[in-house]
Structure 1
Amino acid sequence: MSTALLLVCAMCLDAALGEPDWLWSRVRHPAVVIGNAIGWLDKRLNTGSQRRLKGVFTVTLLVLAAFAAGKLLSLLGPIIEIAVCAILLAQKSLVTHVRDVGETLRQSLPAGRTMVARIVSRDTTEMTEAQVARSAIESAAENLSDGVIAPAFWFLIAGLPGLLIYKAVNTADSMIGYRNEKYLEFGWASARLDDLLNLIPARLTCVMIIALSGQWSRWAEMVVDARRHISPNAGWPEAAMARALGIALAGPRSYDGQIRDLAWVNGDARREIGAYEVFRACTMLWKVWGLALGVLSVWVVVNFFF
């Protein structure tokens, strides 16, 4: 089976099953295993001097281990490849988590705050309805890129080794890639490598959202917003999603009790939003997934016949 066909099957399996509780309540999710390994390395190496060098060693070790694991798993046949790929894609779980924010926000603001706290790291206790909705939509846009399109992209490029390397690096970035005193040096390598691995997928996600929403005439605006975003990659899908929905995203928010005056994305658009816009974002998530699946399916058919 071609890698593209394996990916089509994996995307459909993920969309159908997501992350079933009956399975992950009995065995550890691969992402948990990766996270435990990173936590172990962090505890033992992120001390003393030469932390940047130790961080480079950590990422190198993770990449080599992920490559070896991917090679071994790929030898077990296409069924295992499809299953592992489906497990490491996050389309259905992403839509479920974001939709849950919309559903609870529609019920009450406190319920919406509680639910959005599960998917974002910013302070949520004082959020307004619009801030809850923006947080959910920003998470949807960013995770569409690094939880769906990027894993699919690297699987297509390099099979299971590529996918597992991406997930290892992305998980490391989410755990140790912070610009604070503890991780500025130790997490430097993981953050930079994650930026590199997401460079193409983030822009590809942006292009797909633009194609589906017909916002090509606003490309120059999106580039400006994306480049002044705090993240070198997350700003691209966020800028596209903001214009697809006709709303403003990002802006000031609180982390650990400190307000950070971040730039707005599509700042001239409507800022007072709620559950309805969250649901529209979920619809866009499925549209992008459908576009990706359609392109891959055409690729499979063309290669089969020609």
Structure 2
Amino acid sequence: MDWSAGLWMLIGMGLGVGTSWGFLGTRSVVKTDSPADPVQLYLAKIQSLQSQLQCSELAYQMAITVGQFQAGYLARISHELRSPLSSIIGTHQLILADLCNDSAEEREFVSLAHAATLRMVSMLDQILRVAKLAAGRSRLKLQPLSLKTLFEEIDHLTCIQAQDRGLHLQVIYPHVEGAVVADQQWLQQVLLNLVATAIDAMTTGSIRLSAALLPEAGTVQIWVEDQRPDGAWAEPIDLLRMPPAPELATADHPSPGLTLLSNQMILAQMQGHLELVAPALPQRVSQPEDHEGFTTRICCTLPLATAYCAVNC
């Protein structure tokens, strides 16, 4: 009995010592892996919160800018759609009020309403195409495009129109062969819109299409410059409260303002941007040397093919 009691006592002492060593070992491990100084943790948390705050402020400013742009775009669309609608309503009111002298005049009014309807449908088609592109429902085919080939196509499609109006269209090809990354169909449409809008707004003067390669920035700047009258860009401040302009009721294409906004949205989807440059003010863009005499200067900036492939290929 005494021998067995002593044995159990030794076993108990061994377990006690083992448990104590295990507890001390655990304490030492906890002490080794203990967290850093609370002050350092506090400073790191402040830095993280400051970074998140800066990102939130940037996202907020971008959301405001996008919202203002979309609001202006919707105001422009509403204003221009009112013009053909007013023409349609006006002609039908004349017919319904029996104010036509004879059936021939009544038929003429119906023809005018039909033409206004077709113009409105064409305008809606253009707006919907751009809206689908901005919403991601239409995919872009981004690929390297030769500037020389692109300029040749624009020159071929617009030279006769410029000659018929007595305008001088000057296409300056790049001195160094370069390629821009864009969707061929959409970029061609943007440049055609810019040149055609300038031709329609002018009765005399010159239009110039040129390009500048900026390898250090990895971009290409395509310039469309013209000598349209100073009042060509004059517009009312509040489009929704102003009556539709009479010339919009018979125009076969959107106004310069809506065309500019649409082109800006298209270029944004191709990782580019559009800028309307004031000739008298210094700008961040690389302006051509001999830009005197041009009252409207539009710069389209797009990725250079070599820089784009180096990052994405």
Q: Same fold (TM over 0.5)?
A: no
Report which of the two structures shows the higher radius of gyration computed on alpha carbons: 2
Higher helix share: 1
Q: Which has the higher strand share?
A: 2
TM-score normalised per structure 1: 0.28
